[in-house]
Amino acid sequence: MKSLRIGDLKIKMPIIQGGMGVAISLSGLASAVANQGGIGVISAAAIGMTEPGFEKNYRNANKTALRKHIRRARELSDGVLGVNLMVALSDYDELLKVSIEENIDVVFMGAGLPLKLPQFVLDQGFENIHTKFIPKVSGAKAAKLIFSYWASKFNHIPDAVVVEGPMAGGHLGFKKEELLEDNISLSTLIRETVEVISVFEKQFNKKVPVIAAGGIYTGKDMFEIMKSGASAVKMGTRFVTTHECDADIKFKESYINSKKEDITLIASPVGLPGRVIGSEFVDKINNGETRPFKCPWKCLKSCNFKEVPYCISQILNNSAQGKLDEGFAFAGSNAWKATEIQSVKQVFDELKEEYNLIEAHFAKKLSLMKRPKVAV
């Protein structure tokens, strides 16, 4: 397995753990992944809900908790660490500032296009920063938009890009109809994005890795998507059923107990479809039951608490704490494949073994095809 390079950052294993809010990937999981040579990612989405008294000052709690988890992860690992930020968060700028101040290695940005990021970095007076910036997109079109904008306005491009396909867990950048039609392939999205990005790589004389996410679960999945041009993979679902994942055991068990047909979609108040593990609670929500609430902090820029059926942060926080009768577990299409809780090391060992096996098989097939035919 080839290591990954993002600018001057060397990552031994081309495996990135997807940031999972609310409180699914904190310092525990992130440090364990970083210790195995991948990139461990802390999700900043509603991270303040892990902080006592967060109701009084949610924004401060978010900043305090993020700083705390970055520092804790650094104590537990000297590997490569990232933070996942949703552009749709109302305190996105503040959390971005904390991440850069804490000298995090990588910031991943999803749920929106981070067009203004270079301007923010300039305005804040950050200079010679070590942090790498990586947007997450759902295909070549969005990638081109971000790269063109940064290139023309700031003479700069992102350090890498994550392409997340339709099989991913959590909020999805596709319409419900597209997801139900089931005819978008991640390998096509990767090939198209690699092509678009190559133009910018030439223009800026900079290598920009394209990272694949969504439905990657085994070493074989990794091998196949990397054959399509991905330089690394980003996996969320696979890391949920690990001892080190920061969620309650009931959350992890909901993966292990799920069947393929249980994985379903909800219409999230964020305005995007979300993939979850079906449950009685999901049925209630999908049948129009609501959980009215009052919100003093408005965690999402676009959320109007008087109009949405429930608070997405509260529901996700409930499930992270194992209260699955009042919450749902975000999960990728392959969540049902989990059969046991493993250590992060076991996951890495399995992925490496499977990858190496398929690579050797592929190399053998290739050499047989190349062998000159002997006349008889």
Which residue matches tokens 């929106």? Answer: 112
Query: Which one of the spans 15-23, 55-63, 145-153, 305-313 is the region binding ligand FMN (CB under 6 A)?
Result: 15-23
90 vs 151 by CB, closer to ligand FMN: 90
Structure tokens at 364: 């053998």
- Using CB under 6 A as the binding rule, whether residue 173 contacts ligand FMN is answered as no
One-letter amino acid of 363:
A
Query: Which one of the spans 55-63, 71-79, 177-185, 207-215 is the region binding ligand FMN (CB under 6 A)?
Result: 207-215
- H/E stretch holding 63 reads helix 58-76
Q: Considering only CA atoms, which of 137, 105, 265, 142 is closest in space to residue 212?
A: 137
Phi, psi dihedrals of residue 105, rounded to the nearest 5°: -70, -45
- Using CB under 6 A as the binding rule, whether residue 166 contacts ligand FMN is answered as no
Query: Which one of the spans 13-21, 91-99, 195-203, 254-262 is the region binding ligand FMN (CB under 6 A)?
Result: 13-21
77 vs 237 by CB, closer to ligand FMN: 237
160 vs 235 by CB, closer to ligand FMN: 235
201 vs 220 by CB, closer to ligand FMN: 220
- Using CB under 6 A as the binding rule, whether residue 331 contacts ligand FMN is answered as yes
Rounded to a whole number of angstroms, the minimum distance from the CB of residue 106 to ligand FMN is 13
Query: Which one of the spans 70-78, 120-128, 145-153, 213-221 is the region binding ligand FMN (CB under 6 A)?
Result: 213-221
Structure tokens at 225: 């998507």
Rounded to a whole number of angstroms, the minimum distance from the CB of residue 249 to ligand FMN is 15
- H/E stretch holding 171 reads strand 170-171
Question: Residues 17-46 vs ligand FMN: string with x where CB under 6 A?
Answer: -xxxx--x------------------x-x-
Q: Which of 91, 105, 159, 164 binds ligand FMN (CB under 6 A)?
A: 164
DSSP 297-332: S--BTT--TTTSSS-HHHHHHHHHTT-GGG---B--
Query: Which one of the spans 51-59, 211-219, 277-285, 354-362 is the region binding ligand FMN (CB under 6 A)?
Result: 211-219
Which residue matches tokens 């938009």? Answer: 145
Cα distance between residue 291 and residue 285, in whole Å: 9
- H/E stretch holding 361 reads helix 344-370
Rounded to a whole number of angstroms, the minimum distance from the CB of residue 368 to ligand FMN is 33
Query: Which one of the spans 54-62, 235-243, 307-315, 358-366 is the region binding ligand FMN (CB under 6 A)?
Result: 235-243
CB 114 within 8 A of CB 83: no
* CA distances to 2, 231, 336 from 5, in Å: 10, 9, 32
Partners of 309 in the β-ladder:
none
Cα angle, residue 140 at apex, residues 138 and 143 outer, rounded to 5°: 80
Q: Which of 168, 190, 196, 311 binds ligand FMN (CB under 6 A)?
A: 168
Rounded to a whole number of angstroms, the minimum distance from the CB of residue 127 to ligand FMN is 28
The DSSP code for 47 is G
Q: For residue 271, give the 3-state DSSP assignment.
A: coil
Helices (H), the chain: 27-35, 58-76, 92-101, 117-123, 140-154, 176-181, 186-204, 219-227, 237-240, 249-256, 280-286, 312-320, 344-370
Question: Residues 71-90 vs ligand FMN: string with x where CB under 6 A?
Answer: -------------x-x----
Q: Which of 213, 225, 282, 344 binds ligand FMN (CB under 6 A)?
A: 213
Q: Which residues bind ligand FMN (CB under 6 A)?
A: 18-21, 24, 43, 45, 84, 86, 110-111, 164, 167-170, 213-216, 234-238, 240, 330-332, 334
